[in-house]
Amino acid sequence: MEKLLREILNEIKPLEEEIERERGIYKEIKEIIEENGVKCVLVGSLAKGTDLRGDKDIDIFIKFPEDLSREELEENGLRIGMEVFKRIKVKPEIDYAEHPYVRGTYKGYNVDIVPCYDTKNPKSAVDRTPYHTEYVMKKLRENKGMGDEIRLLKQFMKGINVYGAEARVEGFSGYLTELLVINYGSFLDTLRAVSKWKFREVIDLENLWGNEELPRYFFPDSSLIVIDPVDENRNVAAAVSVQRLSEFIVNAREFLRSPRREFFFPKKRDVPSKKIIMQKISERKTKLVAVHFNHKGMNENLLYSQLRKTINSIIKSIEKFNFKTIKQDIWADDEIGVMLFEFEIWKLPRIVHHYGPSIYSSGRDQEKFLRKYEMDKPYIEGYRWVVDKKRRFSRIEDAMNLILERKDGFGKNLRRVEFKISINDEILSIEKEEFFRFLAEFLRI
Amino acid sequence: MEKLLREILNEIKPLEEEIERERGIYKEIKEIIEENGVKCVLVGSLAKGTDLRGDKDIDIFIKFPEDLSREELEENGLRIGMEVFKRIKVKPEIDYAEHPYVRGTYKGYNVDIVPCYDTKNPKSAVDRTPYHTEYVMKKLRENKGMGDEIRLLKQFMKGINVYGAEARVEGFSGYLTELLVINYGSFLDTLRAVSKWKFREVIDLENLWGNEELPRYFFPDSSLIVIDPVDENRNVAAAVSVQRLSEFIVNAREFLRSPRREFFFPKKRDVPSKKIIMQKISERKTKLVAVHFNHKGMNENLLYSQLRKTINSIIKSIEKFNFKTIKQDIWADDEIGVMLFEFEIWKLPRIVHHYGPSIYSSGRDQEKFLRKYEMDKPYIEGYRWVVDKKRRFSRIEDAMNLILERKDGFGKNLRRVEFKISINDEILSIEKEEFFRFLAEFLRI
């Protein structure tokens, strides 16, 4: 184990030359910013010394005095950011977090220049970031080796695909990963603790709440609760999905049982052949339905969160029509988005057994029902009226067409896209290696 | 309305000659019984004057002193009964109620000779019967016309098929029908009240409970509560099924809206042709499955109650295998019994999405699950283990074969019969007119 971890660390620790290059870039930009009479600060894993080899993010926050209005802060932030990129001859882009900010690619690095308030009472995630950096740096100063332990955990999480708070992953953010190691002391102690986590585990590093019951009550929807040491009312793990949390716990257990390099650097599975996929589909005797579309370069976070919202709405509609899925999942790349459904019930009789009012209900309700369905010959079942009426949709294809037309509960940005439906083998017309890998996973090949 | 009811009454009131013949038979038998030094009493609708024309039941109870043991009562009852039939030269049969009793057919009448205790504290339904007769006779003496009103209600109930407490009907007994008219005063007033009955209506003629809430609490499973005037702890309507009760209420409403002779004397529907039945089956696009058997002359009450018990158990098993019916019903004649199922879901994929333990459950449980389903590649869904394993039965035929073999929860007397399964058009091989009528009703032809 010791040897394995040492080997991994050797591969993931940033090289001395990387660090020097990054420091140089920061110094260069810092000087330009400070010419404007404001202070700035390096944040993120680079500042904390918890970054991995090959990481290409340099995050710089400009600190503005608290009495500045939000408009002035945004204006000054953008102006200074634009000036920086102009001076270093980089084409800037404006992106949006809580405030708009400027980003650009310089010497191969993604440089973000973000305005924030220099305040002791941070009101936004952006304002909180410098405090996060400060908190972690303080802890790492007290324990020099901890940075490497954090690097190991980050790489482990990347390997098992639970790292990153973005909508695509819904996993563990860098800050959350750092807090876990700070709390448990080392990479291995973290995995040992994680492997024994209880349902709705509470981690409160600075003991800000004093007990576990109150935070559970305060964060009722979270499956993991990690109190932010710089803001007791914030759950750092709020964005972690149940799925990623479970995968993390199970992988921690498996790694402790048999530690292997593959947890950190998994081998990519072979792309399955069309023949094998088709075989598996016909073997399961289910019905696969893919709803796919060209997303025309939609922002990834937006795309994934709207795919999730939309697939949940579609499932609700499907159930209203009495069809039933075994499971469903989403997939996307930089071109298309896919919602994939596997059906247990996709064909239904022509009639539906439709319950009407109780025979004890108001005469008006009963007469209305009896008149409406007169031709279908209503009858009594127990104490209710019932009728075997024509079902609206007997085939999932027809129901799905209506659902995609109505777009009830669809994500806002998915209301304008043009959906296509592919069934079973037709799905293989989405000829992308990564999608085939996703299919193989979905079909348990 | 008046005219219609007068006409009906003319058709259903017993003829003078019938009454004389019945009185003669009773007198003849009474004399033989009393030679044995015991008293007897005529009970039932004949005694009360609430019988219909053509009724062929003469029920005579022999009253034994209270201090007789149960064995002696049964012995003496049988002995005297046998002697009666020997003397009038009729082949007797022994049947069983709470006590065994003797019955025979004499001059076209079904004569029952039943032993009971002459007691003021009846402990069984049999002992209670003379008191029921007495109560009704007293009420009818106070109101001469009420007997005819009861006759109208009985015929109405027969016409709409809710008359009779036997297992085949699960409807209204003669005594219950009499109590309703006694309570509401006339045939029409009864229908008017019935048409407005509330859910779990309480009728307490002698106000023995003093309120409606207590009896509702005391008879929690009854959908209609009619307190027995001779025993406040007995619900005379206990055997009325929700189905028959609802049909009675709805028919009462319809009759009041448009009074027609057909309610009393419904026309039998034409026997539908095989072609029409087959057409309807294929039109509904459901799957019909009939489980049928030769019941070898099983007692009708036993047969129907066991058919009901058995069909409920089969439905439970069907649902365990994830199939689903739209509805089901039972049918029988003097030869065969049929359980008919109409399926909404009768075919399922080869795999089933099978949930295992939570990832937070004991390690042993999880390992057991993972080992058991290793070949099927378990995975995580939310916080649970799940596996897409081979489904046991993909077709209802296969599941039904196992269910009929296992006989879980089947009625005792249906454990030895030989079941056959018929699917869709095959069902028409049960070539019986009454069954075809039942099919037409079931399929809403």
A284 → closest Cβ in B326, B349, B359: B349
For the segment B84-104, what is each residue's pLDDT rounded down to a tens digit? 999 999 999 888 877 889 999
- Residue A326 CA to residue B443 CA, distance in Å, equals 31
Name the region of B31 (left: φ>0; alpha: ψ -120 to 50; beta: rest): alpha
CA B292 to chain centroid: 20
Tell me, yes or no, whether A82 and A225 share the same domain: no
**What DSSP character marks residue A144?**
T
Which residues from B are below 8 Å from A382, CB to CB? 242-243, 246
C-beta separation of A81 from A110 below 8 A: no
CA distances from A293 to A38, A98, A155, B74 (A): 46, 29, 33, 84
A130 domain residue, yes or no: no
Say which CATH number the domain at A96 has.
3.30.460.10
Q: Does A345 touch chain B (CB under 8 A)?
A: yes
Tell me the ipTM for this assembly: 0.91
pLDDT for res A122: 81
Decide if B327 and A394 are in contact by the 8 Å CB cutoff. Answer: no
B256, B351, B375, B377: best to mutate for the A interface, most A CBs within 10 A: B351
A127 domain residue, yes or no: no
Tell me, yes or no, whether A193 and A278 share the same domain: no
A135 domain residue, yes or no: no
B192, B247, B251, B286: best to mutate for the A interface, most A CBs within 10 A: B286
B269 domain residue, yes or no: no
Q: Does B199 touch chain A (CB under 8 A)?
A: yes
Burial of residue B267 (number of CB atoms within 10 Å: 0-12, 13-18, 19+): exposed
Domain count, chain A: 4
Strand-pair partners of A288: A342
Strand-pair partners of B63: B39, B116
Tell me, yes or no, whether B104 and B172 share the same domain: no
C-beta separation of A340 from A311 below 8 A: no
Tell me, yes or no, whether A48 and A170 share the same domain: no
Residue closest to B379 by CA, chosen among A224, A288, A443, A255: A443
Tell me, yes or no, whether A229 and A299 share the same domain: no
| Domain endpoint, select from B208, B232, B263 | B263
Q: Does A222 touch chain B (CB under 8 A)?
A: no
Tell me, yes or no, whether A181 and A258 share the same domain: yes
B268 domain residue, yes or no: no
Q: Does B246 touch chain A (CB under 8 A)?
A: yes
Tell me, yes or no, whether B363 and B219 share the same domain: no
Tell me, yes or no, whether B43 and B95 share the same domain: yes
Decide if A444 and B286 are in contact by the 8 Å CB cutoff. Answer: no
Decide if A350 and B388 are in contact by the 8 Å CB cutoff. Answer: no
- Residue B377 CA to residue B375 CA, distance in Å, equals 6
Tell me, yes or no, whether A192 and A216 share the same domain: yes
A350 → closest Cβ in B250, B284, B377: B284
Q: Which of residues 322-341 of B touch A (CB under 8 A)?
A: 326-327
The radius of gyration computed from the CA coordinates of chain A, to the nearest angstrom, equals 27
Minimal CA separation from B409 to chain A, in Å: 22
Paired tokens of A393: 């949709």
Tell me, yes or no, whether A299 and A333 share the same domain: yes
Q: What is the 3-state secondary structure (H, E, C) of B327-357?
A: EEEEEECCCEEEEEEEEEECECCCEEEEEEE
Q: Domain span at residue A363?
A: 351-390
A326 → closest Cβ in B247, B249, B353: B353
C-beta separation of B339 from B330 below 8 A: yes
B129 domain residue, yes or no: no
Tell me, yes or no, whether A154 and A251 share the same domain: yes
B254, B285, B367: best to mutate for the A interface, most A CBs within 10 A: B285
Q: Does B359 touch chain A (CB under 8 A)?
A: yes
| Domain endpoint, select from A201, A233, A263 | A263
A234 domain residue, yes or no: yes
Tell me, yes or no, whether B221 and B148 share the same domain: yes
B153 domain residue, yes or no: yes
| Domain endpoint, select from A105, A120, A135 | A120
Say which CATH number the domain at A209 has.
1.10.1410.30
Q: What is the pLDDT along chain A (445 residues), one digit of tens a residue?
A: 899 999 999 999 999 999 999 999 999 999 999 999 999 999 999 999 999 999 999 999 999 998 899 899 999 999 999 999 999 999 998 888 778 899 999 999 999 999 999 888 887 888 899 999 999 999 999 998 999 999 999 999 999 999 999 999 999 999 999 999 999 999 999 999 999 999 999 999 999 999 999 999 999 999 999 999 999 999 999 999 999 999 999 999 999 999 999 999 999 999 999 999 999 999 999 999 999 999 999 989 999 999 999 999 999 999 999 999 999 999 999 999 999 999 999 999 999 999 999 999 999 999 999 999 999 999 999 999 999 999 999 999 999 999 999 999 999 999 999 999 999 999 999 999 999 999 999 999 9
Q: Provide the pairing of β-strand A231-235 with A93-96.
A: unpaired
